[in-house]
Structure 1
Amino acid sequence: MEPFSFATSNQLEYPVSIRIINLEGAEAPLPFSYLEEHPELRHIGSNQSPHSDLYVTVQVWAGSKPLTVPVQTAYKSFRTERRWNEWLTLPITYSTLPQNSRLAITLWDLSPTGGPDAQGHAIPFGGTTLPLFDKDNQLNKGRQKCHVYRHRRADGNDDTKTPAILPKKRAKKGAPEDVEADELERMEKLFKKHEMGEIPRVDWLDQLVFRGFERRGLQSATSPALRAAQLQRTAQSSSSKGVNDTNGVPEPSSFLLNVELPKFDFPVVFADHEYVPPPVSSLQPSITQSNVILKPPPEVQFGPGINAMDDDDGYGGRLIRVYDPEVAARDNPAESKHRRLVRSQHRNGILDKDLKPNSKVRDELNQITSYSPTHTLSPEEKDLIWKFRHHLTRNKKALTKFAKSVNWQDQSESRQAVQILGKWTDIDVDDALELLGPSFDNAALRAFAVERLRKADDNELLLYLLQLVQALKYEHISPQSNHEATQDSSLARFLISRAANSFTLGNYFWWYVMVECDDKSQDQGPDNRAIYGKIAYDFMAELVKQPDGVATRKTLLRQGEWICILSKISGEIKESNESIARRTERVKHFLADPKNELVTIDPPLPLPLDPSVEITGVVPEETVVFKSSLHPIKVTFKTTTGRKYPIIFKTGDDLRQDQLVIQIITLMDDLLQKENLDLKLSPYKILATSTSAGLSQFVHSMSFQAITSKYRNNPALAYLKQNNPDSHGPMGLRKETLDTFVKSCAGYCVITYILGVGDRHLDNLLLAPDGHFFHADFGYILGRDPKPFAPAMKLSKEMVDCMGGSNSEYYRQFKQYCFLAYSALRKNSNLILNLFSLMVDANIPDIKLEPDKAALKVKERFHLELSEEEAIRHLERIMDDNLNALVPVVIDKLHELVQAFRA
């Protein structure tokens, strides 16, 4: 099939235009006796001369209504024929035309006495209506012959009585064929094809044909039979205004108006502009309602009496369901009035300060304050919290529940709440983070949370810095350039101040902000990028005010240049079609080139991935290009301490999800350390430098897949024994190495279960020579997994065999470490849930799928509705089911076969 090209009308930003060429045809003059009987026809121009002066008006109509004002031709004096040859441009473009658009073309004669449809001294000579789109919805183009209806204005209606193109009538049986008329019609079609370029042009032959056709047309027009028919039609039109009594449609006269429409290179097909659907609700959610999802439209139901619902459903025939999409989005007026009455100062004034709950109410308050951050308070619970607000100021866990109970849009209530905040006892960091989330937009409340964060040291603040940078999206920061970014944001002022005084904080703060400035996705609009751009500018302005701020600013700029150099070679390697060996040689040559300033880095540059490490140069010979689709590059750098620091640089992948998981693992490790539980976790560092590039620390290790391919029996134990042999140790292995393996397995099993890490196979389970076990590649989290029937926890047979089997003492220790870690992390569930709540708008792939359910999915893994003992038993069942399941083994084998096939 040959390719067919066309354009759509909604993309044609070109004004509608038409060329009025000439008027063909003639009619017999009216007899003088007839003019004597009708003196009003005596002074009409066309009755005085066959070439009297006429002018033409054109107007666009659609839906039986005019779309534009009429446009008319200039005055022209005719002598031998009525020829205008003038282009008219109408005030409308093709892109806005409806499908039923048509041109109402009227020729106007002059008469001092007026007449029907007269406009001043102008009366209709005749009219015709030309559709702009044909029956195939294609735009008409080129020359058109339009039938003129004498003494009629072009009506332009959808059911027009003055159609320019008449439907072809079938000849009646026995009627004589009009051979001359058929031949003229055939020639007209051929002329049009010639004009559109569908027939090859031969100039000398074309001129002969044109002259012969003109002579033939003149002879046909002046033949006695035709003139007699024209005279008869003219007499009928003068007496009955040309109306056919049978169907009310006027008969066309012998006049034809030749017009020309613009010609385009391709057919233009009608296509309507696709308007955005109207909003389901006019409600504009505020920051506090950013997570509110309007109810979806219901299924269409017929009204009462028309297929009404049966009484079996519990609804009578007279019941009508009303769809309200704003349920749970707007306040219920009755509830709002009830709340105002309950909380009014007249009924709950000064006495509220002395109110104390009885034992039953105290139990209810304790139950409310123990709710998780994702729990929604009922109106009754909110009223109870408000009633005993003064009593609860001594309970630090009650502040977030109090903040949820306040109607911050009510000025009086908001003013009272702000006064009480000053009396509240110090709150924990997890509650402060919750107050900085998208659910609270009161500036005083957010400032109160920031004051709590001021008491955290730099190391603690670094654990939450990624989320705090995201919390800036919920601050009142204007994207306009004439406002300071930190003018109305206590959080922005706090972060900029702390980042300017600590190079480590400033390093990570700078790169987190830079990634937000680089995010050009639809989910992050230009206002968001403008806000982070202003924050970056204010940070640099604050930095240069510090004693060594100018040097720090230069260091950050040098880091950016260093990233650009690595991005250049990484992008070239990813796009090239060379072998791995050839790619590796190209990278080595690039790194060793002195022009790229990587062989020697002077002064030493703090590594963006880990600012505590300062690099002095690259080691080109240790460069490796990996075989994966994106071909990440392993680059080794020399440091000021004399040690080597290998990193992996990757282009073409968004590392923000992996960065988030590593940050949460680091935080959980810190929480476990505070519980005196060191599980030997070793989360490698990772940093996204843009939305499509980033760095990660390279840890010397082997995947379980590679280990099982190298060793046959008990591969993990054989690998560890080779690197840490001890004939006196357990199973011929150093005891410290086996302890490290057992503890790290327990830590990662629990953490990956809580985070719902998916796509676990032996290729992303890694084991370091010293016994540290860890996971890599966090492309699936929160329960997502590309494989069906994937286990909730990845506990492979190779891991258990290395511990001595499921009945060994070390496996029992492993389970005990899992239970201790799970219990410790459940105690800190609020902090972890709040961190995920702050990331709902961070454009993390697996959070973006269902942002309102991200924290809920983590909460499900904690099983907060169970007691500690029940939760531990539940975790043990998961571990036992996974250990005895066949599906994980099958998945690992299938993955091994797929990887072998790809290789």
Structure 2
Amino acid sequence: MEPFSFASSESLNYSVSIRIINLEGEEAPLLFSTLLDHPELRHIGSNQSSHSDLYVTVQVWAGSKPLTVPVQTAYKSFRSERKWNEWLTLPITYSTLPQNSRLAITIWDLSPIGGAGAHGHAIPFGGTTFPLFDRDNQVQKGRQKCHVYRHQQADGNDDSKTPAAISKKKTNSRKGPTVVEDKDAEELDRMEKLFKKHEMGEIPRVDWLDQLVFRGFEKRGLQSARSSLKAVHRQPASQANGSDPSQGANESHNDGNSAIPPGPSSFMLNVELPRFDFPVVFADHEYPPPPISSLLQLSGSQSNIILKPPPEVHFGPGINGIGDGDEGHGGRLIQVYDPEVGARDNPAESKHRRLVRSQHRNGILDKDLKPNAKVRDELNLIMSYSPTHILPPEEKDLIWKFRYHLTRNKKALTKFVKSVNWQDQAESKQAVQVLGKWTDIDVDDALELLGPTFDNSAVRAFAVERLRKADDNELLLYLLQLVQALKYEHISPESGHEVAQDSSLARFLIARAVNSFVLGNNFWWYVMVECDDKTQDQAPENQAIYNKIAYDFMMELVKRPGGKETRKTLLRQAEWIAILSKISGEIKESNESIAKRTDRVKHFLADPKNELTIIDPPLPLPLDPSVEIIGVAPEDTIVFKSSLHPIKVTFKTTSGRKYPILFKTGDDLRQDQLVIQIITLMDNLLQKENLDLKLSPYKILATGISAGLSQFVPSMSFQGIASKYRNNPALAYLKQNNPDSQGPLGLRKETLDTFVKSCAGYCVITYILGVGDRHLDNLLLAPDGHFFHADFGYILGRDPKPFAPAMKLSKEMVDCMGGSGSEYYRQFKQYCFLAYSALRKNSNLILNLFSLMVDANIPDIRLEPDKAVLKVKERFHLELSEEDAIRHLERIMDDNLNALVPVVIDKLHELVQAFRA
């Protein structure tokens, strides 16, 4: 078969439009005697002139019901012919059209006294119904001729009585009336089809020959119309009426009481539909499965249940299944899948659980229950499950049975909360009492209890009590996720009362934020970003909640000593961000050269009106509140060449040093902010294990959904280093900045240690987070040996390049260590193994932080929110032992080091960048 290129209608997001060209045809005028007998006919415009004013309305119908409001042509005065030549756009797109869509086109006449079927002063001149899809389910396109049914309004029904095309039926009955074949009419029909092919480009164009054919066709058409009209006039009235469908329409419309023209009318409406390069075939939407009823409230233990697949039906004897037996597809058994049933527990299992737990409901004997060795091993296995593991009913019953014994195990609390049926009031009441006796839990378990899975207020309040013991530095590590956890609190969006009355978490965060400026600064900007998020993915009630939180934070702040000054400082930061956003937006939109853009920014920053040259009193930097800025240094300003043209702005600080930042608009920095926060947390976890890998995560702060700040670290990309140095470029770069003839490889030992350790740390961390789009332009190296990554636009395994490696370990990095056989490369691998083992021990904390970010509108999490946590979990390989996990990591490193694809990708990226430059 020959290839057939086509498009589907569901992907055509283009409004339906039609061009009303002109009305062809004529009819014999009414007799003067008829006008005397029916004086109301004298006021109708078409009875007064053959070129009277008319207008056309078009409406989309489907399933015998209108889908849109009618759209009409503008007023136009006709002289010699009724020609509109006007495009009408209907308020519906091709992607939403059903297969049986039709255009109901009605031509309206005017009469001051109305008439049959009148809408005010408008009466139907004629109507026609045109299908938007042909017999092959393709969208109609190009010029079309529509038969007009006189005095009828287009009905638009599926069994329309005003179809645009009339099927020609020939009768072979001897008794039937003889149909006179009009050869001229047949020739005209044939020519119309050829003209349509010519318009669509199927017949080659020859200008001089086309003009001759067009003129001959017009003459022949006029001659045929006159001859056919004369022939019809010679026929008896009964034969004329029976041979034309529009005449029957006249009779049915007038019911034989009003006069009709003394001959048939033959009007055709010429219209034109949009043309597409390829055929557009109808394709219906694939609708998602029906949502679970909101009446079914899932408990905390049920919220992790995944919808079960449609049940497999085993047919009994004598029962015909689908496709079986003589009945074929119409069997006697119909399978209907109810999603509510798929989410509910098995009734037999639910009854069994109630019977089992009824024995342990009062808890009098349970307080002294202790597991034997076998049960203890089972409980220890359950305690080792990751946060994403779903507990089966048997394990939930086992946890409930030994709940008092488990109160001494801090890792058992989250499993216990999942095993409780919170819909049972008696059980939930006893569970809350047991919570009060539980030992102190870790922060990772407290964060899990604040996630979307747990909705009981007592459970969430218990988690908040654990967070109260964390100091400000530790709380700052999780603050981004805690602000997101406010979405899962029972906070009313109404402004009747404070959020602190509804939520223990909101009360806790506001209280800590007003007592620490560093916490308050970050808390304020995190909340502001949520208030700024007005996209479709952000629920309107969430916006209202965060607006209330911001208001209550400010009200609580002014009550504290020095709170008014702190409030003014936060407002000054917002004004400072707005000033930078203004110039950044102007630079991004201008078409000037980089030099002119840079001069323009320097002039803007140096202008005293913008109050940036001198900032008095000193202002804490939103990116790093521990740094206070006193003014800007315009001479150090740089505008970069990338598509968004970020601006490097250098500020003077109270300590006498300069602090450079990058300000960018038009880009969502929340994903980069999340990755940097996770890297900072992982660095903190590694240092607790006495493993300092010299990580240097630069600071990032999103100030809105399309603007933000990032710390500028003096460094050079591996691409820039490779273009400057030929042999072993990274080592040559470090030698130039840290020479030492007595040191290893000709440079200072501290510099080489820093490079090896930082390479190991970032290789493991970017592998766990699935950071993609890694090339030599976003691998950076500082002069002191600190290696780090930048630009985290792709995470969780996403990558724009095919066959991308799981870990970015480039040849330039290994060469700088002395090659794959050197002692420093072996040290590098050992650091990777130690870092991977240490982070696997803290996998629960990292997984819980990602679960709190599911609804944060992070681009790569938003694509598949239900799989985001699982993608991170896969990289930890928790199902493997520590030795097997390290072997797996070593295989990944060896495969990446010997692979050819990463080298090809880097070379292609270098060529593309050189071409752009």
> TM (normalized to structure 1)?
0.73
Is 1:307 equivalent to 2:303 in the alignment? no
Deviation at 1:393, TM superposition (A): 0.6
Evaluate the alpha carbon distance shift between residue 715 and residue 299 of structure 1 in structure 2; reply closer, same or farther with a 3 A threshold: farther
Q: Write out per-residue CA displacement over residues 187-231 of structure 1, whole angstroms, 9 at most, x where no aligned residue.
A: xxxxxxxxxxxxxxxxxxxxxxxxxxxxxx9xx99x9x989999x
Is 1:704 equivalent to 2:718 in the alignment? yes
Partner of 1:367: 381
Is 1:866 equivalent to 2:880 in the alignment? yes
Query: Which amino acid in structure 2 is aligned with residue 308 of structure 1?
Result: D
8 Å contact from structure 1 (residues 746, 815) kept in 2: yes
Is 1:133 equivalent to 2:147 in the alignment? no
Partner of 2:337: 323
8 Å contact from structure 1 (residues 147, 256) kept in 2: no
CA–CA separation in structure 2 for the residues paired with 1:436 and 1:760: 34
Q: Write out per-residue CA displacement over residues 860-879 of structure 1, whole angstroms, 9 at most, x where no aligned residue.
A: 22121222222222222222
Larger Rg: 1
Deviation at 1:578, TM superposition (A): 1.1
CA–CA separation in structure 2 for the residues paired with 1:268 and 1:897: 41
Give the secondary structure class of the aligned counterpart of 1:133: strand
Partner of 1:380: 394
Partner of 1:605: 619
Partner of 1:849: 863
8 Å contact from structure 1 (residues 129, 162) kept in 2: no
Higher alpha-carbon deviation: 795-804 or 320-329: 320-329
Query: Which amino acid in structure 2 is aligned with residue 792 of structure 1?
Result: A
CA–CA separation in structure 2 for the residues paired with 1:178 and 1:720: 95
Query: Which amino acid in structure 1 is aligned with residue 701 of structure 2?
Result: L
8 Å contact from structure 2 (residues 128, 146) kept in 1: no
Evaluate the alpha carbon distance shift between residue 668 and residue 27 of structure 1 in structure 2; reply closer, same or farther with a 3 A threshold: same
Deviation at 1:129, TM superposition (A): 13
Evaluate the alpha carbon distance shift between residue 305 and residue 265 of structure 1 in structure 2; reply closer, same or farther with a 3 A threshold: closer
Structure 2: gaps spanning 5 or more residues: 1-12, 19-28, 42-58, 67-89, 109-123, 134-139, 186-228, 241-250, 276-281
Evaluate the alpha carbon distance shift between residue 300 and residue 786 of structure 1 in structure 2; reply closer, same or farther with a 3 A threshold: farther
8 Å contact from structure 2 (residues 369, 405) kept in 1: yes
Higher alpha-carbon deviation: 344-353 or 428-437: 344-353
Q: Write out per-residue CA displacement over residues 435-461 of structure 1, whole angstroms, 9 at most, x where no aligned residue.
A: 001111111100100000010000000
CA–CA separation in structure 2 for the residues paired with 1:748 and 1:164: 69
Is 1:683 equivalent to 2:697 in the alignment? yes
Partner of 2:741: 727
8 Å contact from structure 1 (residues 130, 165) kept in 2: no
Partner of 1:198: none
Higher alpha-carbon deviation: 484-493 or 560-569: 484-493
Evaluate the alpha carbon distance shift between residue 827 and residue 26 of structure 1 in structure 2; reply closer, same or farther with a 3 A threshold: same
Is 1:541 equivalent to 2:537 in the alignment? no
Query: Which amino acid in structure 1 is aligned with residue 610 of structure 2?
Result: N
Give the secondary structure class of the aligned counterpart of 1:612: strand
8 Å contact from structure 1 (residues 671, 825) kept in 2: yes
CA–CA separation in structure 2 for the residues paired with 1:734 and 1:279: 63
8 Å contact from structure 2 (residues 651, 660) kept in 1: yes
Evaluate the alpha carbon distance shift between residue 758 and residue 389 of structure 1 in structure 2; reply closer, same or farther with a 3 A threshold: same
CA–CA separation in structure 1 for the residues paired with 2:526 and 2:839: 26
Q: Which of 559, 562, 567 lines up with 2:581 in the alignment?
A: 567
Is 1:793 equivalent to 2:803 in the alignment? no
Partner of 1:422: 436
Evaluate the alpha carbon distance shift between residue 421 and residue 291 of structure 1 in structure 2; reply closer, same or farther with a 3 A threshold: closer
Is 1:472 equivalent to 2:486 in the alignment? yes
> TM (normalized to structure 2)?
0.72
Evaluate the alpha carbon distance shift between residue 640 and residue 299 of structure 1 in structure 2; reply closer, same or farther with a 3 A threshold: farther
Q: Write out per-residue CA displacement over residues 246-298 of structure 1, whole angstroms, 9 at most, x where no aligned residue.
A: xxxx9999646999x9x9999999xx9x9996962442376867776646789
CA–CA separation in structure 2 for the residues paired with 1:873 and 1:278: 42
Q: Write out per-residue CA displacement over residues 805-861 of structure 1, whole angstroms, 9 at most, x where no aligned residue.
A: 223222222222222211111111111111111111111111112211212111122
Deviation at 1:732, TM superposition (A): 2.4
Evaluate the alpha carbon distance shift between residue 292 and residue 690 of structure 1 in structure 2; reply closer, same or farther with a 3 A threshold: farther
CA–CA separation in structure 1 for the residues paired with 2:421 and 2:105: 58
Q: Which of 491, 496, 517 lines up with 2:505 in the alignment?
A: 491
Give the alignment of 1:144-223 within 5 angstroms.
146=150
Higher alpha-carbon deviation: 362-371 or 793-802: 793-802
Partner of 1:759: 773
8 Å contact from structure 1 (residues 129, 160) kept in 2: no
Deviation at 1:765, TM superposition (A): 1.1
Give the secondary structure class of the aligned counterpart of 2:866: helix
CA–CA separation in structure 2 for the residues paired with 1:423 and 1:563: 49
CA–CA separation in structure 2 for the residues paired with 1:27 and 1:424: 104
8 Å contact from structure 2 (residues 672, 793) kept in 1: yes
8 Å contact from structure 1 (residues 129, 164) kept in 2: no
CA–CA separation in structure 1 for the residues paired with 2:239 and 2:734: 111
Deviation at 1:421, TM superposition (A): 0.5
Partner of 2:903: 889
8 Å contact from structure 1 (residues 591, 598) kept in 2: yes
Give the alignment of 1:507-586 within 5 angstroms.
507-586=521-600
CA–CA separation in structure 2 for the residues paired with 1:155 and 1:705: 68
Q: Write out per-residue CA displacement over residues 47-106 of structure 1, whole angstroms, 9 at most, x where no aligned residue.
A: xx966999xxxxx9x999999xxxxxxxxxxxxxxxxxxxxxxxxx99999859899x9x
Deviation at 1:337, TM superposition (A): 1.8
Count of matched residue positions in the alignment of Structure 1 and Structure 2: 767
8 Å contact from structure 1 (residues 25, 254) kept in 2: no
Q: Which of 827, 831, 846 lines up with 1:813 in the alignment?
A: 827
Query: Which amino acid in structure 1 is aligned with residue 915 of structure 2?
Result: F
Partner of 1:834: 848
Query: Which amino acid in structure 1 is aligned with residue 885 of structure 2?
Result: A
Higher alpha-carbon deviation: 709-718 or 607-616: 709-718
Q: Write out per-residue CA displacement over residues 658-701 of structure 1, whole angstroms, 9 at most, x where no aligned residue.
A: 11110001001111111111111110001111111111000011
Give the secondary structure class of the aligned counterpart of 1:637: strand
Query: Which amino acid in structure 2 is aligned with residue 715 of structure 1?
Result: P
Evaluate the alpha carbon distance shift between residue 156 and residue 719 of structure 1 in structure 2; reply closer, same or farther with a 3 A threshold: closer
Deviation at 1:634, TM superposition (A): 0.5
8 Å contact from structure 2 (residues 450, 460) kept in 1: yes
Partner of 2:207: none
Deviation at 1:721, TM superposition (A): 1.6
8 Å contact from structure 1 (residues 129, 155) kept in 2: no
Evaluate the alpha carbon distance shift between residue 300 and residue 555 of structure 1 in structure 2; reply closer, same or farther with a 3 A threshold: farther
CA–CA separation in structure 2 for the residues paired with 1:818 and 1:484: 49
Q: Which of 662, 668, 688 lines up with 2:676 in the alignment?
A: 662
CA–CA separation in structure 1 for the residues paired with 2:258 and 2:732: 104
Q: Which of 261, 279, 293 lines up with 1:283 in the alignment?
A: 293
Deviation at 1:724, TM superposition (A): 1.4
Q: Write out per-residue CA displacement over residues 622-677 of structure 1, whole angstroms, 9 at most, x where no aligned residue.
A: 11111111111111000000000000011111111111110001001111111111
Partner of 2:464: 450
CA–CA separation in structure 2 for the residues paired with 1:596 and 1:832: 43
Give the secondary structure class of the aligned counterpart of 1:544: helix
Query: Which amino acid in structure 2 is aligned with residue 646 of structure 1?
Result: P
Evaluate the alpha carbon distance shift between residue 332 and residue 281 of structure 1 in structure 2; reply closer, same or farther with a 3 A threshold: farther
Evaluate the alpha carbon distance shift between residue 166 and residue 787 of structure 1 in structure 2; reply closer, same or farther with a 3 A threshold: closer
Evaluate the alpha carbon distance shift between residue 768 and residue 332 of structure 1 in structure 2; reply closer, same or farther with a 3 A threshold: same
8 Å contact from structure 2 (residues 147, 166) kept in 1: no
CA–CA separation in structure 2 for the residues paired with 1:527 and 1:101: 42
CA–CA separation in structure 1 for the residues paired with 2:718 and 2:156: 79
Is 1:396 equivalent to 2:410 in the alignment? yes
Give the secondary structure class of the aligned counterpart of 2:681: helix
Query: Which amino acid in structure 2 is aligned with residue 433 of structure 1?
Result: L
Evaluate the alpha carbon distance shift between residue 377 and residue 171 of structure 1 in structure 2; reply closer, same or farther with a 3 A threshold: closer
8 Å contact from structure 2 (residues 607, 613) kept in 1: yes
Evaluate the alpha carbon distance shift between residue 851 and residue 286 of structure 1 in structure 2; reply closer, same or farther with a 3 A threshold: farther
Give the secondary structure class of the aligned counterpart of 1:647: strand
